């Protein structure tokens, strides 16, 4: 008796920045692979194809039964890729980046990457200026014995700590999709495979001058809009891709409730106090990363409890220092 024709076991991703939005790049198994995170269980199934127009032609006038539909058009796909963030493990340079699943994914999430050798070699990611060319990815997914190709992919980014484990980054992507094809998972060259991602232990968290918070959980949401679709009737397929909107970064910190003399979040929320908020994961050079909201204000303050322990969850929302600055967020890999 033959085994199942297709298994839901191994998966893989390739991603490369596009020179022109929506024009698919040639992908290489040796240089463009991402290292996805699937946890302990089996991977998620690949997401379904979606269509801007589903082909529906309404009901027949003589019997009110559905009419035969025409072919759907405006095909796109969206999905989520989870990764464990880590550094390169060796010195950064103008040509040595954090691994693809960090560098390329952050760029396609609406961030510019800047290399500096000061104070030590680092790559810093800050918001791409609106009105300029944004980074898009050609994305290939291998799953369930098939290959799924997308072009013009734009991403939104979130992450959340998992207790004391490695924080998991999630990139929600969407792009214009080609038809799938049979393909076994090829041999993919992953980057920095000997480097272990830093865990959420001994992290450094600063809420302005309040640097002694006992941190229980960290979550981040970039809140980038990638939903505006470009219907293009002149195009075969009818879908010209997506346009990104703005981002509204939010950093959520669950901490043990401090004495109000030390830090009074309800008071700071009421007075719209601005603070520089940052968290750093990892302490080894070239395998650590720091997320900063250089200017942030509390959006919500929610008291909580863990049994007899008083906690409070703070949500900080970033803002830019001037109406034209792009300094509301920075992610540093150094």
Partner 1 sequence: MTNEFFATTAADGTTTRLPFPLDVPLDERDAYMAATTAAEPPAAVAPAPTPDED
Shortest distance (Å) from residue 110 CB to partner 1: 9
Give the number of residues in contact with partner 1, rule: CB under 8 A: 18
Whichever of 116 and 170 has its CB closer to partner 1, that residue is: 116
When computed from its CA atoms, the radius of gyration of the chain, rounded to whole angstroms, is: 22
Strand segments (E) across the chain: 12-17, 33-34, 49-53, 73-83, 111-116, 122-127, 137-143, 146-160, 168-177, 181-182, 204-207, 215-221, 228-231, 239-243, 250-256, 274-281, 289-306, 309-318, 330-333
x/- mask, partner 1, residues 91-120, rule CB under 8 A, reads --xxx-----------x---xxxxxx-x--
Rounded to the nearest 5 percent, the helix, strand and coil shares of the chain are 5, 40, 55
Whichever of 98 and 167 has its CB closer to partner 1, that residue is: 98
Shortest distance (Å) from residue 104 CB to partner 1: 10
x/- mask, partner 1, residues 135-174, rule CB under 8 A, reads x---------------------------------------
Selection from 80, 54, 84, 50 nearest residue 69 by Cα: 54
- Any contact of residue 242 with partner 1 (CB under 8 A)? no
Round to whole Å and give the CA distance between 151 and 136. Answer: 8
Shortest distance (Å) from residue 96 CB to partner 1: 9
- Any contact of residue 334 with partner 1 (CB under 8 A)? no
- Any contact of residue 26 with partner 1 (CB under 8 A)? no
Q: Which residues bind partner 1 (CB under 8 A)?
A: 17, 19, 93-95, 107, 111-116, 118, 128, 132-135
């Amino acid at each position: 008796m033959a085994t199942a024709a297709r298994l839901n076991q191994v998966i893989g991703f390739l991603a490369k920045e596009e020179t022109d939005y929506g024009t698919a790049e040639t992908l290489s198994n040796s240089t463009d692979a991402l290292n996805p995170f699937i946890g302990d269980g089996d991977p998620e199934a690949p997401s379904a194809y979606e269509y801007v127009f589903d082909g529906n032609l309404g009901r027949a006038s003589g019997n009110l039964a559905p009419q035969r539909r025409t072919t759907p058009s405006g095909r796109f796909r969206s999905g989520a890729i989870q990764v464990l963030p880590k550094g390169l493990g060796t010195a950064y340079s103008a040509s040595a980046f954090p691994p693809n699943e960090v560098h390329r994914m952050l760029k396609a999430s609406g961030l510019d990457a800047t290399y500096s050798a000061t104070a030590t070699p680092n790559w810093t990611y800050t918001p791409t200026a609106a009105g300029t060319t944004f980074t898009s990815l050609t994305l290939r997914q291998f799953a369930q014995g098939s290959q799924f190709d997308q072009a013009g992919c734009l991403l939104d980014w979130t992450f959340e700590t998992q207790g004391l484990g490695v924080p998991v980054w999630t990139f929600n992507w969407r792009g214009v999709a080609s038809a799938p094809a049979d393909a076994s998972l090829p041999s993919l060259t992953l980057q920095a495979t000997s480097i272990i991602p830093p865990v959420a232990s001994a992290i450094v968290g600063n809420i302005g001058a309040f640097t002694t918070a006992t941190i229980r959980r960290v979550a981040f949401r970039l809140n980038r809009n990638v939903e505006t679709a470009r219907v293009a009737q002149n195009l075969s397929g009818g879908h010209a891709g997506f346009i990104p909107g703005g981002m509204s970064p939010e950093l959520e910190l669950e901490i043990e409730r401090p004495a109000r003399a030390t830090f009074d979040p309800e008071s700071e929320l009421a007075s719209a106090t601005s603070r520089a908020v940052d968290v750093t994961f990892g302490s080894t050079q070239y395998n650590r990363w720091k997320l900063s909201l250089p200017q942030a204000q509390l959006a919500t303050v929610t008291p909580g409890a863990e049994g007899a322990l008083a906690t409070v969850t703070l949500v900080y929302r970033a803002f830019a220092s001037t109406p034209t600055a792009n300094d509301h967020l920075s992610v540093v890999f150094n």
